């Protein structure tokens, strides 16, 4: 017999909220029953687009008026802790977009709050559910390329992030907002935690785009050592303009494995031999990870039904935040920074740049 659908309150009606609503429409068993956004216009437009009638300016209001089982939180990072804790306190399962939170203290609060409430907590690391990442992970675990020695992870995004998402003080900036996925997936694929990171950044387009935020950067390369002794790099550029570019390369003692490619749809055209072959590039993250988004929500629906823990845990989210904090400290202090420095510091000391502008 058919199971009752998991009733979901979608928090955030912007770009990510729409992407997740679109993905959820392809997930049998999940159903959006309420939409929350403080911005009336966006709330109305997205509500109309997805046929969601129950619309609210706040989570509290939704909790008051509609029965649901779970929340999907797609709002800016600095809102994550409070929303997650409120939802958990009302017994709602929590799906939380990356990055998990601004600092480790917030991560700890979310982990503890959901644990105490006995609800599922899943972080939006959809790459862990993307078919080629899943297949790659199986092959690495099966020993196909031997012990991993080096990983290179690239995520370049086409457009300038919103103001809060490119400001160290309100979001930890690009390494957090664009490259959170790299932080998570390198740790996952390598089967080891990062131990030391060094970051170089550059600001090429800020001035032309009118960005005068302190420490703004649009290019970053981080290299790192893992606890296992292996090496890695994360490279990010945003805005890069040319597409959405997410690729990973892992080299083990026995061989190389590459995940992802620039090419989008399998179409090749040539109409000018001096110009050459033209093939679509992947344009957006929604296109790149279409199946990843579907499968991660399918997993979340399954976890909420069965009570099984999610495969993308709060601990995973916390590690990604820790990597960001270490890399940010490195770029500010122009020296390699160990994870231990971040993990053992007080919250205020670990990321002294946060909140200095008063939030968004």
Member of 65, 115, 254, 356 binding a second copy (CB under 8 A): 254
| CA–CA gap between residue 336 and residue 224 (Å, rounded) | 9
280 binds a second copy (CB under 8 A): yes
Q: Output the smallest distance, CB 155 to a second copy, in A.
A: 12
Q: Output the smallest distance, CB 110 to a second copy, in A.
A: 31
Member of 73, 174, 251, 324 binding a second copy (CB under 8 A): 251
Cβ contact 94:119 at 8 Å: yes
Q: Output the smallest distance, CB 106 to a second copy, in A.
A: 29
Member of 114, 170, 172, 230 binding a second copy (CB under 8 A): 230
Member of 112, 141, 261, 349 binding a second copy (CB under 8 A): 261
Q: Cα-flanking dihedrals φ and ψ of residue 280, to 5°?
A: -60, 145
Interface with a second copy (CB under 8 A), residue total 86
Ramachandran quadrant class, 358 (left: phi over 0; alpha: psi -120 to 50; beta: rest): left
214 binds a second copy (CB under 8 A): no
Cβ contact 158:243 at 8 Å: yes
40 binds a second copy (CB under 8 A): no
Q: Which is nearer to a second copy, 281 or 357 (CB)?
A: 281
Q: Output the smallest distance, CB 325 to a second copy, in A.
A: 19
Binding residues for a second copy restricted to 104-133, rule: CB under 8 A: 131-132
Member of 40, 115, 204, 344 binding a second copy (CB under 8 A): 204
313 binds a second copy (CB under 8 A): no
Cβ-proximal residues to 190 (8 Å cutoff; 6+ apart), any chain = 148, 151, 226, 228, 230, 232, 250
* Helix orientation angle between 40-50 and 15-24, rounded to the nearest 10 degrees: 20
Member of 127, 152, 169, 299 binding a second copy (CB under 8 A): 152
Q: Count CA within 13 A, CB hemisphere, residue 176.
A: 32
Contact range with a second copy by CB under 8 A, out of 93-101, 185-193, 275-283, 350-358:
275-283
CA 177 to chain centre: 7
Member of 5, 7, 15, 26 binding a second copy (CB under 8 A): 26
Binding residues for a second copy restricted to 58-97, rule: CB under 8 A: none
Q: Which is nearer to a second copy, 265 or 315 (CB)?
A: 265
Binding residues for a second copy restricted to 320-359, rule: CB under 8 A: 334-336
**CA 141 vs CA 37, 135, 227, 230: distances in Å:** 41, 10, 18, 16
b/e for 104-121, b at 16 or more Cβ within 10 A? Answer: bebbebbbebbeebebbb
Cβ contact 124:96 at 8 Å: yes
Contact range with a second copy by CB under 8 A, out of 34-42, 149-157, 178-186, 339-347:
149-157
Cβ-proximal residues to 333 (8 Å cutoff; 6+ apart), any chain = none
Q: Count CA within 13 A, CB hemisphere, residue 36.
A: 22
**Residue in this structure with the two tokens 């053992």, named with its chain if needed:** 344
Site string (155-174) toward a second copy, x via CB under 8 A:
-x-x----------------
178 binds a second copy (CB under 8 A): no
Member of 58, 213, 233, 313 binding a second copy (CB under 8 A): 233
Member of 237, 321, 342, 354 binding a second copy (CB under 8 A): 237
């Amino acid at each position: 017999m058919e199971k009752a659908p998991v009733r979901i309150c979608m928090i955030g009606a912007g770009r990510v909220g729409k992407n997740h609503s679109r993905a959820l429409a392809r997930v049998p068993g999940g159903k959006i029953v309420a939409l929350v956004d403080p911005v009336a216009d966006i709330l109305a437009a997205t509500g109309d687009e997805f046929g969601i009638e129950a619309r609210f300016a706040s989570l509290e209001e939704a909790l008051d008026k509609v029965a649901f089982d779970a929340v999907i939180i797609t709002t800016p990072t600095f809102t994550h802790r409070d929303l997650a804790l409120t939802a958990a306190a009302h017994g709602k399962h929590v799906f939380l977009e990356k990055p998990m939170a601004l600092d480790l203290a917030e991560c700890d609060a979310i982990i503890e709050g959901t644990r105490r409430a006995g609800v599922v907590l899943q972080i939006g690391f959809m790459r862990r559910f993307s078919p080629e990442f899943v297949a790659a992970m199986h092959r690495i675990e099966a020993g196909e390329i031997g012990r991993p020695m080096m990983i290179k992870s690239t995520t370049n995004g086409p457009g300038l992030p919103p103001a809060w998402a490119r400001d160290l003080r309100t979001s930890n900036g690009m390494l957090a907002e664009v490259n959170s996925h790299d932080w998570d997936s390198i740790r996952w694929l390598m089967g080891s935690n990062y131990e030391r990171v060094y970051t170089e950044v550059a600001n090429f387009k800020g001035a032309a785009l009118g960005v005068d935020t302190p420490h703004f950067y649009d290019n970053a390369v981080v290299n790192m050592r893992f606890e296992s002794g292996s090496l890695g790099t994360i490279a990010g550029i945003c805005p890069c303009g040319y597409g959405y570019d997410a690729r990973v390369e892992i080299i083990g003692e026995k061989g190389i494995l590459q995940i992802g490619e620039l090419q989008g749809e399998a179409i090749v055209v040539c109409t000018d031999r001096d110009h050459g072959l033209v093939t679509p590039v992947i344009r957006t993250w929604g296109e790149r990870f279409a199946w990843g988004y579907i499968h991660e929500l399918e997993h979340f629906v399954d976890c909420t039904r069965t009570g099984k823990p999610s495969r993308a845990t709060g601990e995973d989210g916390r590690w990604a935040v820790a990597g960001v904090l270490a890399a940010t400290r490195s770029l500010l202090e122009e020296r390699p920074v160990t994870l231990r420095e971040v993990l053992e510091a007080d919250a205020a000391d670990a990321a002294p740049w946060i909140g200095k502008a008063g939030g968004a």
